């Protein structure tokens, strides 16, 4: 928390006026929220992969995806999993409602 406060103070100090300071803070928080959201999604993917393994799914690969949400772009890694006799899927995408080939979150699309 101290690091965030220090960075915020520097952004404000290095701004020429209140409008510039506020714009810089909005950009800073958008970037920070996007980063921690990506980390949260990766944690969810870890947990989902473990659950799917229990039902016979195996990991085919792990790749990166970017989704545009209301507060910016979120980058994260997720697993593609497959079970014998079934189509491969991305459990995280299924859980979150991310559509195949779509770069926007369900809320942003709505």
Residue 71 contacts residue 34 (beta carbons within 8 Å): yes
Residue 89 DSSP one-character state: B
What does the mean pLDDT of the chain come to? 94
d(CA 62, CA 27): 30
What is the average pLDDT across 32-47? Answer: 96
Q: What is the pLDDT of residue 60?
A: 97
Res. 1: pLDDT tops 90: no
- The pLDDT tens digits for 57-100 are 999 999 999 999 988 999 999 999 999 999 999 999 999 999 99
Residue 23 contacts residue 54 (beta carbons within 8 Å): no
């Amino acid at each position: 928390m101290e690091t965030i406060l220090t960075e915020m103070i520097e952004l404000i100090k290095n701004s020429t006026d209140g409008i510039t300071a506020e714009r810089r803070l909005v950009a800073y928080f958008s970037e920070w929220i996007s980063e921690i959201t990506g980390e949260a999604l990766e944690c969810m993917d870890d947990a989902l992969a473990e659950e799917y393994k229990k039902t016979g799914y195996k990991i085919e690969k792990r790749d990166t995806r970017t989704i545009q949400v209301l507060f910016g772009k979120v980058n994260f890694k997720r697993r593609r999993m497959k079970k014998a006799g079934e189509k491969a899927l991305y459990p995280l995408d299924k859980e979150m409602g991310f559509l195949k080939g779509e770069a926007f979150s369900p809320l942003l699309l709505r």
